[in-house]
A and B are shown apart, each in its own frame.
Chain A
Amino acid sequence: MTASALTRPGERERLVVKFGQIDWTLIVLLCLIAAAGGMMLYSIAGGAWEPWAAKHLIRFGLCLLLMLALAVVDLRIWFALAYPIYGLAFLLLMAVEVVGHRSLGATRWLQFGPLGVQPSEIMKIGLVLALARFYHGLPAPRAKWSWNLLIPAAMIGAPVLLVAKEPDLGTAILLAATGGAVMMLAGLSVRAIVAGLAAVAAAIPPFVMFVLKPYQRDRILTFLHPETDPSKSGYHILQAKIALGSGGVLGKGFGLGSQSQLNFLPEKQTDFIFATLAEEFGLVGCVAMLALYAAVIIIALRIANVSHSHFGRLSAAGITATFALYVMINGAMVMGLAPVVGVPMPLLSYGGTVMLTVMVGFGLVQSVRVHRYSEVGRGAGLI
Chain B
Amino acid sequence: MTQPTIFFSEVNERQATFHRRAFVMGGLVGVGLAALGVRLFQLQVVENDRYKSLSASNQFNFRLVLPPRGRILDRNGVELASNRPNFRLLLLKDEAPDVEATLAEVSKLIPITPERARQIRRDLRDGPKFVPVSLAEDLNWDDFARINVRSAELPGVEADMGEARVYPFGGAFSHVIGYVSKVSDADVKRAGPNPDPMLLNPGFRIGKQGVEKALDLELRGKPGGQKVEVDSRGRVVREDPMGDIKPTPGKEVVLTLDADVQNRALEVFGEDSGAAVMMDCRSGDLLCLYSAPSFDANSFASGLTTAEYQALANYDHKPLFNKALTANYPPGSTFKTLVALAALEKGISPSTVHVCNKAWAWGGRVWHCDEAHGALDMKGAIAKSCDIYFYQLALQIGGPDPIAAVARQFGLGHVFDIGIPGQKPGIVPDLAYKRRNFPRDPVWHPGETPSVGIGQGYVSVNPLQLCVQAARLANGVRAIEPRLIHAIGGVVQPSGAAAPDLPFAKENIDFVRAAMAAVVTSGTAAGSANLGLGPVMMAGKTGTAQAHTYAGGHGQHGATGAWAGRDHAWFIAFAPYDDPRYALSVLVEHGGFGAEAAAPKAREIMRVALLKDPQVRARIERPLPMPAMPATPPGQRPEGAEPEPPTDIVAATPGKTA
A-to-B contact residues, CB < 8 Å: 139-140, 143, 181, 184-187, 239, 241-249, 258-259, 262-264, 278, 282-283, 286-287, 290, 293-294, 297-298, 301, 304-305, 310, 313-314, 317, 321, 324, 327-328, 331-332, 335-337
Query: Contact: B58 with A258, CB < 8 Å?
Result: yes
B54 at the interface (CB under 8 A from A): yes
Task: Tell whether, in the assembled complex, residue A264 and residue B18 are in contact, meaning their CB atoms are under 8 Å apart.
Answer: no
B191 at interface (Cβ–Cβ under 8 A)? no
A193 to chain B, nearest CB (A): 10
Whether A187 pairs with B32 at a CB distance below 8 angstroms is: no
How far does the Cβ of A140 sit from chain B's closest Cβ, in whole Å? Answer: 4
Say whether, besides A244-B43, A337-B39, A140 and B10 are in contact (CB < 8 Å).
Answer: yes
Neighbouring B residues of A327 by C-beta, 8 Å: 33
Is B231 interfacial (CB-CB < 8 Å)? yes
- Interface residue? B37 (CB, 8 A): yes
Q: How far is the CB of A86 from chain B (nearest CB, A)?
A: 21
Inter-subunit contact A283/B11 (CB<8 Å): no
Check: B150 CB closer than 8 A to any chain A CB. Answer: no
CB contacts (< 8 Å) of A264 on chain B: these are 58-59, 231-232
Cα A247 to Cα B51 with chains together (Å): 8
Binding stretch for chain A, among B23-31, B137-145, B396-404: B23-31
- Is the contact region of chain B dominated by helix, strand, or loop, or is it mixed? helix
Q: Which residue of B17, B45, B54 is within 8 Å of A242 (Cβ)? A: B54
The answer on a CB contact under 8 Å between A283 and B22 is no
A151 to B24, CA, bound (A): 25
A301 in contact with B58 (CB, 8 Å): no
On whether the beta carbons of B55 and A305 are closer than 8 Å, the reply is no
Interface size on B, residues (CB 8 A): 42
Q: Which residues in B have their C-beta under 8 angstroms from that of A278?
A: 40, 44
Q: A287 vs B29: C-alpha distance in the bound complex, in angstroms?
A: 15
Q: Is B370 an interface residue (CB 8 A)?
A: no
Q: Does B506 sit at the interface, judged by CB under 8 A?
A: no
Residues of B contacting A317 with CB < 8 Å? Answer: 18, 22, 25
A283 near B45: Cβ-Cβ < 8 Å = yes
Q: Name the contact of A259 in the complex, choosing from B55, B233, B237 (C-beta under 8 A).
A: B55
Which chain B residue shows the least CB distance to A264?
B232
Asked whether any CB of chain A lies closer than 8 Å to the CB of B316, the reply is no
B642 CB-CB contact with A under 8 Å: no
The answer to whether B44 and A244 have CB atoms under 8 Å apart is yes
Q: Which listed residue, A139, A248, A262, touches B232 by the CB 8 Å rule?
A: A262
- Asked if B229 CB lies within 8 Å of chain A CBs, one says yes
B359 at the interface (CB under 8 A from A): no
Contact status B29-A283, CB under 8 Å: no
The residues in B between 206 and 258 inclusive whose CB is less than 8 angstroms from any CB of A are 229-233, 237
Q: B21 interface residue, CB < 8 Å from A?
A: yes
- Chain A residues within 8 Å of B58, by CB: 239, 242, 258-259, 262, 264
* A139 near B40: Cβ-Cβ < 8 Å: no
With contacts A262-B237, A310-B11 taken as known, whether A246 is within 8 angstroms of B32 at the C-beta atoms is no
Q: A290-B37, A335-B39, A335-B40 are in contact. Are A263 and B233 (CB under 8 A)?
A: yes
Which residues does chain B contribute within 8 Å of A286, judged by CB atoms? 37, 40, 44
Question: Which residues of the partner chain B approach A263 to less than 8 Å between Cβ atoms?
Answer: 231-233
A249 close to B229 (CB less than 8 A): no
B19 at the interface (CB under 8 A from A): yes
In whole angstroms, how far apart are the Cα atoms of A244 and B42 in the complex?
10
Write the chain B residue with the least CB distance to A328. Answer: B32
Query: Can you list 11 residue pairs at the A/B interface with Cβ under 8 Å?
Result: A187-B21, A245-B51, A245-B52, A245-B55, A246-B56, A258-B59, A262-B59, A278-B40, A304-B18, A305-B22, A332-B39
Q: How far is the CA of A264 from the CA of B24 in the complex (A)?
A: 40
List of A residues within 8 angstroms of B11 by Cβ = 310
Contact (Cβ within 8 A) B25 A310 = no
A243–B55 touching, CB < 8 Å: yes
B residues bordering A, Cβ < 8 Å?
10-11, 13-15, 17-19, 21-22, 24-26, 29-30, 32-33, 35-37, 39-41, 43-45, 47-48, 50-52, 54-56, 58-59, 229-233, 237
Q: Whole-angstrom distance between the alpha carbons of A327 and B25 in the complex? A: 14
Bound-state Cα–Cα, A274 to B54, Å: 19
Given contacts A140-B13, A140-B14, A245-B43, contact A294 B33 (CB under 8 A): yes
CB distance from A187 to the nearest CB of B (A): 4
Whether the Cβ atoms of B30 and A186 lie closer than 8 Å is no
Separation of A282 and B45 alpha carbons in the complex (Å): 9
Given A140-B17, A143-B14, A248-B48, verify A287-B43 contact (CB < 8 Å): no
CB–CB A258/B25 < 8 A = no
Structural contact, A290 and B51, CB atoms closer than 8 A: no
Nearest-CB distance from A114 to chain B (Å)?
Answer: 31
Query: Is A301 in contact with B51, judged by CB distance below 8 angstroms?
Result: no
Q: Counting chain A CB atoms within 10 Å of each CB, which of B13, B33, B230 scores highest?
A: B33
Nearest Cβ in chain A — how far from B47, in angstroms? 5
Residues in B with CB closer than 8 Å to A262 are: 58-59, 229-232, 237
Q: Report Cα–Cα, A264/B231, bound state, in Å.
A: 7
Asked whether, in the complex, the Cβ of A245 is within 8 Å of the Cβ of B15, the reply is: no
Question: Within 8 Å CB of A241, what residues of B?
Answer: 43, 51
Which residues from chain B contact A244 at a C-beta distance below 8 Å?
40, 43-44, 51
CB proximity of A24 to chain B, nearest CB, Å: 21
B50 to chain A, nearest CB (A): 7
**Closest chain B residue to A324 by CB distance?**
B29
Q: How far is the CA of A294 from the CA of B35 in the complex (A)?
A: 13
Enumerate the 6 nearest inter-chain pairs by beta-carbon distance, A residue then B residue, closest first: A245-B51, A246-B55, A263-B232, A187-B17, A262-B231, A258-B59
Residues from chain B with Cβ under 8 Å of A304 in the complex? 18, 22
Roughly how many angstroms separate A249 CA and B229 CA in the complex, as a whole number?
24
Residues of A within 8 A of B52 (CB): 245-246, 248
Q: Is the CB of A184 within 8 A of B21?
A: yes
* Residue ID in chain A nearest B24 by CB atoms: A184
Assess the B15–A313 pair: CB atoms within 8 A: yes
Q: Which residue of A lies closest to B36 (CB)?
A: A331
Shortest Cβ gap from B352 to chain A (Å): 84
What's the nearest-Cβ distance from chain A to residue B248, in Å? 30
Q: Answer whether A310 and B15 are a contact pair too, CB < 8 Å, given A248-B44, A290-B36.
A: yes
From A181, A243, A305, A332, contact of B19 by CB (8 A): A305
Return B24 CB to nearest CB of chain A, in Å.
8
- Chain B proximity of A160: nearest CB distance (Å): 20
In the bound complex, what is the Cα–Cα distance between A263 and B15 (angstroms)?
50
Collect the chain A residues with CB atoms within 8 Å of residue B30's CB.
Answer: 294
Docked Cα-Cα span, A314 to B54, in Å, equals 46
**Chain B residues whose CB sits within 8 angstroms of the CB of A297 once the complex forms:** 26, 29
- The residues of A that contact B54 with a CB separation of less than 8 Å are 242, 245-246
A9, B594: Cα distance in complex, Å: 135
A245 touches B22 (CB 8 A): no
Name the one of A186, A243, A249, A287 contacting B18, with C-beta atoms under 8 angstroms.
A186
Q: Report the separation of the CA atoms of residues A324 and B26 in the bound assembly, to the nearest whole angstrom.
A: 9
In the complex, are the beta carbons of B22 and A332 less than 8 A apart? no
- Judge whether B43 and A185 touch: CB under 8 Å: no
A287 contacts across to B, CB distance below 8 A: 37, 40
**A248: B residues at CB distance < 8 A:** 44-45, 48, 52
Assembly CA distance A307 to B55 (angstroms): 49
CA distance A140 to B8 in the complex (A): 12
Complex formed: what's the CA distance from A321 to B233 in Å? Answer: 40
Contact B55 A324 (CB under 8 A): no
Verify A321–B237 contact, CB threshold 8 A.
no
Tell me the complex Cα distance, A290–B22, Å.
Answer: 20
Q: How long is the Cα–Cα vector from A239 to B232 in the complex, in angstroms?
A: 10
Residues on A with C-beta less than 8 A from B51 are 241-242, 244-246
Question: Chain A contacts of B37 at CB under 8 A?
Answer: 286-287, 290
In the complex, A184→B40 CA distance in Å? 30
> What residues of chain A lie closer than 8 Å to B13, measured between beta carbons?
140
Chain B nearest CB from A307 CB (Å) reads 9
Contact A282 B44 (CB under 8 A): yes
- A328-B14 contact in complex given A245-B48, A262-B58, A283-B44, C-beta closer than 8 Å: no
Asked whether, in the complex, the Cβ of A245 is within 8 Å of the Cβ of B44, the reply is yes
A254 to B475, CA, bound (A): 82
Which of B15, B19, B44, B232 interacts with A247 by CB under 8 Å? B44
* Min CB gap B32→A, angstroms: 4
